Amino acid sequence: MVRIGAFFVGLFFSGWLLVTFLVGAVSFVSEPPAPTAEHEFHLHPKEVSYSFNGPLGHYDKAQLQRGFQVFKEVCSACHSLKFVAFRDLEALGYNEAEVKAIAKNWAIKTPDVDPKTGEMAGRAPVPSDHFPKPFANNVAAAAANNNAIPPDLSLMTKARHDGSAYVYSLLTGFQDQPAELLKEFPDAKTPTGLHYNPYFANLNLAMAPPLTAEGQVTYGDGTKPTVDQMAKDVSAFLTWTAEPKLENRKRAGVAALFFLLIATGLAYMSYRNIWANTKH
């Protein structure tokens, strides 16, 4: 009796779900949602070629160092890297002495307690420290950035679809609003204090274009620092901060596939050897 009751209860809910789905489908076809500026003018990230793309890709340490330089000289004034320590930079090709110098000369001090007074004070970072936040708290961050809190960039390329390409597209995508947008959606004019960028979800963001001119940074390896190059380099660096073990993961994947191919071959040969004389 209980099973029969459960059957009818399940049948009722299944039927209800089916009816709800059909009603929603009919409503969508008969009264489609009104188009929005975000839906019509939002763009997917550009296609960008990186050395770490593909199953056999690897990081270009020279590019990562250039990207770190862009982050240091341009991005670090507003954005943090709270999950990255200075000593992690050794993976980019910096030696121990260089890492110590980078930490010691970092513009933002690491919060610490003064052992003499017991009060909070700042000190020069050491390699074991994580990159210090540029603002003491979210209130200070919002006050300095038009009431918008700059996000931490440690995992940004993991948090966004096509993360590397997204960061690159966002940095190179600032532009004036298209006339077609304002003609079709007069109320979608970018508010004062915001900046139009079709690669951002709602088309407008508080961050002003951070990369504005060629030569904004000076690369030590002689690479020409165009806006496009700087954007590509810093997006590669932020890919590394989010996936520092990417190369190990790809090597492990290739080794696993190689092992599976050999194991499959051995299993097939064993099967043929064991059952070779068996009559069907």
Radius of gyration in angstroms for the set of CA atoms belonging to the chain, rounded to a whole number: 27
What confidence score (pLDDT) does residue 135 get? 92
Domain map (residue ranges) of the chain? 37-84+130-244
Asked whether residue 16 carries a pLDDT value surpassing 90, the answer given is no
Q: What are residue 50's phi and psi, to 5 degrees?
A: -125, 155
User: Where is the binding site for heme c, in residues?
Assistant: 75, 78-79, 207
CB within 8 A of 88, min separation 6: which ones? 244
What confidence score (pLDDT) does residue 10 get? 78
Fold classification of 37-84+130-244 (topology level)? Cytochrome Bc1 Complex; Chain D, domain 2 (1.10.760)
Query: In the predicted model, what is the mean pLDDT of residues 45-54?
Result: 94
pLDDT digits (tens, 9 = 90+) for 120-136: 667 889 999 999 999 98
Range name among 38-47, 106-115, 163-172, 239-248 with the lowest pLDDT average: 106-115
Model confidence at 39, in pLDDT bands (50, 70, 90)? confident
How much is the pTM? 0.84
Model confidence at 41, in pLDDT bands (50, 70, 90)? confident
What confidence score (pLDDT) does residue 174 get? 96
Residue 197 pairs in a beta bridge with none
DSSP string over 234-262: HHHHHHHHH-TTHHHHHHHHHHHHHHHHH
Q: Which amino acid is at 205?
A: L
Query: How do beta strands 204-205 and 195-196 pair?
Result: antiparallel
Across all residues in the chain, what is the average pLDDT? 89
pLDDT digits (tens, 9 = 90+) for 160-204: 999 999 999 999 999 999 999 989 888 889 999 899 999 999 999
Asked whether residue 119 carries a pLDDT value surpassing 70, the answer given is no
Our CA angle for 213, 99, 86, nearest 5°, is: 80
52 vs 247: CA distance, rounded Å: 8
What confidence score (pLDDT) does residue 117 get? 67
In contact, 48 and 168? CB cutoff 8 Å: yes
CB within 8 A of 224, min separation 6: which ones? 214
User: Where is the binding site, in residues?
Assistant: 75, 78-79, 207
Model confidence at 107, in pLDDT bands (50, 70, 90)? confident
Asked whether residue 258 carries a pLDDT value surpassing 90, the answer given is yes
247 vs 47: CA distance, rounded Å: 21
- Give the residue with greater pLDDT, 261 vs 119: 261
pLDDT digits (tens, 9 = 90+) for 65-82: 999 999 999 999 999 999
